[in-house]
C-alpha cells in the first residue's frame, strides 16, 4: 500500500486540522511535538504522510500530485486558482473576504471611479471588481499589514480578510462590502481521486459523519 500524503498549511490551521483528522482515526503522534522543526511526518501503520507547507504553496503541491490531499483556507484556493477537487469544508478558520476602507471611501465603490485597491489577494480583488462590480480599478499587491495602505495614502480601499474586525476598528477602517465567506477546505489531487478513490472516499465519509459540509 502506498502512502497517502497530506499537505497542511502550517501554523494554527494545521494544528486544528490534525485535531479534526484525529477524530476520524487519522493520527500522527510525531506531529504533536511542538518543538520539532521537522516538515514531514509519517504514520507507518496507516500509511499516511503529512507535510507542513506555506499556505499559498499547498494548492501547488496538490495540483502537481506531490500531495494527494491538501488542507488550506478558501482564500488561498481562490487566489491560486489551481486545478483541484474541493471536497470538504472543515468549518474552521471562518472569516470573510471584504472590501474595507475609511467610511469616506464608500462612495468610491459605485462602479465608476478608477480607484486603487491594495491586497495580498490580487486575483480575488481583480475578480471581484472586474467581474462582479464591473468597476475598473488599479490593483496593488502587498504582502501583509494591508490595513496600512488606505491610512498612508497608498490606496483608497483594501481587499482583505476580516475575522474579528479588531484590526479594522483599531485603525479607523470598516467593512464597506463583503466579497465572500471563507473557511478551511480539504482539496484532493484529480488523479489521486481516481487512483486512490477507496481510501480518499473513506476519509471524506468519516469527516462527513462528524458534521461539517461536504462540497459536491
Ligand atoms: C489577517 C488579515 C487582517 C487580520 C484580520 O492578517 O489580513 O489583517 O488578520 O483579523 P481581525 O479581523 O481578527 O483583526 P494576519 O494576521 O494574517 O497578518 P498580515 O496582514 O500581516 O498577513
Same domain flag for 161 and 126:
yes
| Position 214 pLDDT exceeds 80 | no
Same domain flag for 171 and 190:
no
Burial of 192 (0-12, 13-18, 19+ CB in 10 A): buried
Q: Determine whether the shortest distance from the Cβ of 165 to ligand 1 is under 6 A.
A: yes
Mean pLDDT within 68-83: 98
Q: Quick one: pLDDT at residue 32?
A: 87
Same domain flag for 59 and 31:
yes
Return the best residue to mutate from 167, 172, 173 for the ligand 1 pocket (most ligand atoms within 8 A of CB): 167
Q: Quick one: pLDDT at residue 213?
A: 61
Return the best residue to mutate from 163, 171, 182 for the ligand 1 pocket (most ligand atoms within 8 A of CB): 163
Q: Determine whether the shortest distance from the Cβ of 167 to ligand 1 is under 6 A.
A: yes
Which stretch of DSSP H or E encloses residue 5?
strand 4-9
Assess contact for 9 and 58: CB atoms under 8 A.
yes
* Residue whose CA is at the smallest distance from ligand 1 atom 7: 161
Full domain range(s) for residue 175: 95-181
Same domain flag for 110 and 209:
no
Same domain flag for 76 and 118:
no
Same domain flag for 48 and 15:
yes
Same domain flag for 176 and 188:
no
Alpha-carbon span 185 to 134, nearest angstrom: 29
- The number of distinct structural domains making up the chain is 2
Cα 117 to middle of ligand 1, angstroms: 17
Which CATH number is 112's domain given? 3.40.190.10
Same domain flag for 88 and 191:
yes
Quick one: which atom of ligand 1 is closest to the CA of 167?
Answer: 14
The DSSP 8-state label assigned to residue 62 in this structure reads H
Assess contact for 63 and 189: CB atoms under 8 A.
yes
| Position 216 pLDDT exceeds 80 | no
**136-183 tens-digit pLDDT:** 999 999 999 999 999 999 999 999 999 999 999 999 999 999 999 999
Q: Determine whether the shortest distance from the Cβ of 75 to ligand 1 is under 6 A.
A: no
- What nine digits make up the cell of 18? 490534525
Same domain flag for 165 and 193:
no
Mean pLDDT within 49-60: 97
Same domain flag for 13 and 88:
yes
**112-145 tens-digit pLDDT:** 889 999 999 999 999 999 999 999 999 999 999 9
Same domain flag for 26 and 48:
yes
Same domain flag for 110 and 166:
yes
* Residue whose CA is at the smallest distance from ligand 1 atom 19: 144
Amino acid at each position: 500500500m502506498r502512502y497517502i500524503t497530506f499537505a497542511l498549511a502550517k501554523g494554527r490551521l494545521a494544528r486544528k486540522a490534525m485535531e479534526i483528522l484525529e477524530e476520524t482515526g487519522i493520527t500522527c503522534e510525531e506531529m504533536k511535538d511542538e518543538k520539532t522543526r521537522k516538515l514531514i511526518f509519517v504514520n507507518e501503520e496507516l500509511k499516511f504522510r503529512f507535510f507542513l507547507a506555506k499556505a499559498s504553496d499547498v494548492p501547488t503541491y496538490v495540483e502537481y500530485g506531490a500531495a494527494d490531499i491538501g488542507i488550506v483556507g478558501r482564500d488561498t484556493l481562490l487566489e491560486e486558482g489551481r486545478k483541484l477537487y474541493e471536497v470538504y469544508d472543515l468549518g474552521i478558520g471562518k472569516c470573510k473576504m471584504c472590501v474595507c476602507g475609511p467610511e469616506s471611501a464608500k462612495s468610491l465603490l459605485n462602479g465608476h471611479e478608477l480607484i486603487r485597491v491594495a491586497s495580498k489577494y490580487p486575483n480575488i480583488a481583480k475578480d471581484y471588481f472586474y467581474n462582479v462590480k464591473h468597476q475598473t480599478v488599479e490593483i496593488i499587491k502587498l504582502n501583509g499589514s494591508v490595513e496600512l495602505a488606505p491610512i498612508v495614502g497608498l490606496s483608497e480601499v483594501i481587499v482583505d480578510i476580516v475575522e474579528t474586525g479588531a484590526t479594522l476598528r483599531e485603525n479607523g477602517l470598516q467593512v464597506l462590502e463583503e466579497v465572500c465567506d471563507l473557511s478551511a477546505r480539504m482539496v484532493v489531487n484529480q488523479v489521486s481521486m481516481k487512483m486512490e478513490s477507496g481510501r480518499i472516499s473513506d476519509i471524506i465519509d468519516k469527516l462527513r459523519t462528524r458534521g461539517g459540509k461536504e462540497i459536491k
